[in-house]
Amino acid sequence: MLIEFSYNNSYHTSIGMAPYEALYMRKCRTLLCWQEIDKALNVGPELIQVTTDKIRVIQERIRAAQSHQKSYAEQRRRLLKFQVRDQVFLRVSPTKGVARFGMAGKLSPSCIRLYLVIQRIGKVAYRLKLPSELPRVHNAFHVLQLQKYIPNPSYIIEPDAIQLQEYPLYEEQPAKILDRWEKHLRRKTVPLVKVL
């Protein structure tokens, strides 16, 4: 018994073969037939049973991998809920070339200042009270962009009073000369000095 596949698509009938066959110049193999297509294949109940068993093993392994991945993801997932009047940090993604909330570049902080939650929208969105410096930013944010603020008085650091000069001057004094050498270029010689 020879396995053949018929295609009813107008494209297939116009070229007279399957697209795979037209592209690779050989017939397409299926899960039931991994042998050369040119040879006649006698499909018996043993071959079908072996193929069915292999498919069942593959499905069980895929199911086990999905279950393992799901349990791993659920262990790390935590539900975040905030109440009205809570203070939260707002996470911003450091996107290169895009200035968000006045922060730009790779070294910008991942969380910016505290904001007040004024309303809960649905299950996963919150409305924040934004300052007037951010008029173009929409005030509704997903729960994953928020980080809970836990107030602790020991975290507050009082800055020291710093006296700044109007025109600060700093003068470097060389301690000693460590090395001298000359750099020869095409038409001239440049004396160089290494100073501590």
pLDDT in tens, 62-86: 888 888 888 888 777 777 889 999 9
C-alpha distances (whole Å) from 48 to each of 18, 52, 118, 135, 176 are: 24, 6, 64, 67, 88
Among the candidates 47, 75, 103, a domain finishes at 75
- Residue 31 placed within a domain: yes
Q: CA 30, CA 35: separation in Å to the nearest integer? A: 10
What value does the mean pLDDT of the chain take? 77
Of 36, 52, 75, which one is at a domain's C-terminal end? 75
Task: Report if pTM > 0.75.
Answer: no
Q: What phi and psi, each to the nearest 5 degrees, are found at residue 12?
A: -65, -40
92: pLDDT strictly greater than 50? yes
- Is residue 194 within 8 Å of 177, Cβ to Cβ? yes
Range of the domain at 130: 87-152
Q: Does residue 109 lie in a domain region?
A: yes
Same-domain status, 54 and 99: no
In a domain, 45, yes or no: yes
Contact between 121 and 140 under an 8 Å Cβ cutoff? The reply is yes
The answer to whether residue 107 is domain-embedded is yes
User: Distance (Å, rounded) from C-alpha 120 to C-alpha 83?
Assistant: 8
Q: How many domains does the chain have?
A: 2
Q: Is residue 34 assigned to a domain? A: yes
**22 and 64 belong to one structural domain:** yes
Please tell me whether residues 102 and 69 are part of one structural domain.
no
Euclidean distance between the first and the last CA atom of the chain, given in angstroms as a whole number: 90
Same structural domain for residues 67 and 92?
Answer: no
Q: What SS3 class is residue 176?
A: coil
Q: Domain check: are 70 and 22 in the same one?
A: yes
Q: Is residue 178 part of a domain?
A: no
State the CATH number of the domain containing residue 112: 2.30.30
What pLDDT, in 10s, does the model give residues 143-190?
Answer: 888 888 888 777 666 777 777 778 877 778 888 999 999 999 999 999
pLDDT tier, 54 (very low <50, low <70, confident <90, very high otherwise): confident
On whether residue 16 sits in a domain, the answer given is yes
Residue 118 is assigned to a structural domain of this protein = yes
What pLDDT score does 104 carry?
62
